[in-house]
Chain A
Amino acid sequence: MNWGDYRKAMDALPFSPDFQERTEKLLRLSAQNEAEKEPFAMKKKLFHKIAAAAAVLALLTASAYAAVKLLSPSQVAEFAQQPLLAEAFRSEDALVLNETVESGGYRMTLAGLVSGAVLDSWDQDVDRSRTYAVAALERLDGQPLDQQSVSLSDFILTPLVAGYTPWSVNNWTLDAAVCGIAQDGVFYFLLDVQTLEMFADHTVYLAFYEGGVPSREIFVMNGDGSIQFAGDFAGPHALFTLPLDAGKADPAAVEAFIADSGFDLDWFTGSTSQSEEPSFTGQGDGELAEAPSVELEEIPSGET
């Protein structure tokens, strides 16, 4: 037996000869129905937005606002077709944060976080730990955000670690992937990154901002290792501190991470002139000069 037999068996499967024709008809009919429903759906949505906006702005705290108005992290994971991750976000191990910052005309919310073994249903046998985070982006003027209005290349959600330069420990060096989901005018970011718990004996941040790769123009690392946005950084931005359990820190893993990077320790700690950030040419696959690229993926929304 060989794979040629497998291909022959596949080729012999009795699919309907008119499958494509039937399917095209079905899809056209469905598209027509969707188009006819749209005006009513738009009106209904607008009504809800006005009512909801008035209620939440008047009555709710930021945390309660996020809980009421936004999708939960587990719902975002479900939209991203990651049922195991959705379950993890519902577990006791997940951190529900719902911290909100308003900046540059946007409301930026860090909704939740979970760390642990790989939770992507396709990745169960991969021997590595990951951290997953969900953040939400909304416009303060109420204009809805959709897949066209937000680019994953322009809005960055990246971890940073106190004591390590922002250009050395971030999405690009931590094997991160980010997907975006637009739902009801809110744009959600689902970050999947190498575990952040190994850094838990340091202050670990999630920076959310409109800009490019972390650089000296965007961030400042203070003498005590703490990180903040540069004073003249004008774009929408928020810096969240993650409440990680310091007991889960793994200095040996951090050491291995630095050793595997191929860069000098000075580049990570910023202790000498060698700590200059590498020259990046942009963001996305193959666009970084010296560091691994981050994977960006846009996930469709509206699935149930």
Chain B
Amino acid sequence: MKILLVGMNHRTAPVEVRERFAVDDPLPWLVKLVAAPEIEEAVLISTCNRVEVIAAAPNLDAGRHRLRSFFHRDLGQGAPLVHQQSENAVLYEHVGDDAVRHLFRVSASIDSLVVGEPQILGQVKEAYRLAAEAGLCGPLLNRLFASAFASAKRVRSETQIASRPVSVARVAVDLARQIFETLEDKRALLVGAGEMSEAALVALRGAGLAGVAVANRTRERAAELAARFGATAHGLDELPQLLAASDVVLTSIGADRPLLDAPLFEAALRMRRRRPIFAIDLGVPRNIDPAVNQLDDVYLYDVDDLGGVAEANAEERRRETVRAEAIVQEEVERWGGWLSALQAVPTIQRLRARAESIRQSELDKVTAKLGLDEAQQRGVEALTRAVVNKLLHAPVSRLREQAERDDGLAYLEAAKVLFALDDPTAPGADADAGAKPGGSEPSS
């Protein structure tokens, strides 16, 4: 059985291509895919940045052909698999360890547009859950996805890939948490409006901010914004009182000169008994006089400061990616070991069946010849079983161990020759039919 992965992502296909292949409910498509004999197990991951199918196929070429055709005919409804402008192929294919590595990288968010973003692991888990509950995953994909989730967990706990925010909005939340113990009793003031300040406000609200006031040049515009954020609307003439009541101040208003200066902040600090203020100035030109940062208990960050932090964090994430890749490689090797051990299972089962057949036939002969009573029969039965188990214990253990090594196949072949497992005329060979290959998994 081969592991195959075929798909497209933000690097190989632009959004106008990806949206033609994306599906909301992957289940009907998966059922259709697995109904074909070329594919035995499959999971379809469809997010805004990628559409991928990972499958287990008995035959590599047939499986690969079936998956390409699934993308072209079924998901894409005949859409071309080459990007018309760039003429690049939109689909990529990975086989065996490469497919495993790709899935592990995706789950660990190394392959994401924003490296370290946390959503992808949940999306992969959901895709797997859907397929598993519909019975479309067998032992191979069940084990593969369990390993992918374990690998992603290791990456998140052993590296800082996800610990540093890379958007201005998230940086603002992080800094707010460095200043305030909790945001749940804090109030924010939004002066003016802009894409970035609104994103920061949404992120702060998501972090638990208690209330928001919006101030603008015209009360109508303020009311419009306030309605969107569930806030109160004010004019700019109320800024001194609003400032005194606000723990976080976000500004993004068109003005030639700073609107908020140090004396205004000093007065506000006195009114609020010097409780700290976190001021985020996203206006260009700046809305808050930089001298405000000289005041005790005010922490002023402008757009360059926040952008600088975001960029430094992105750089740190890139450095952490190297460590994350090393963890993924370890997990891929561990998976390879498990898969190799799986190959030993049929040989071990045949060896055990052969030994059991010989034991049973010799026991039958002795029992008939000696005329043993029931108690004696039980004793001899136990004795022979113990002898066989003890004799087989060492070779079976060694076969399992060696099967995980690169040269493991040679040991399996040697076992077949030494115990004549491929010889139908050897004693006990009639028992081989009862030893079903691939019926169980190796212990991990």
**B partners with A:** no
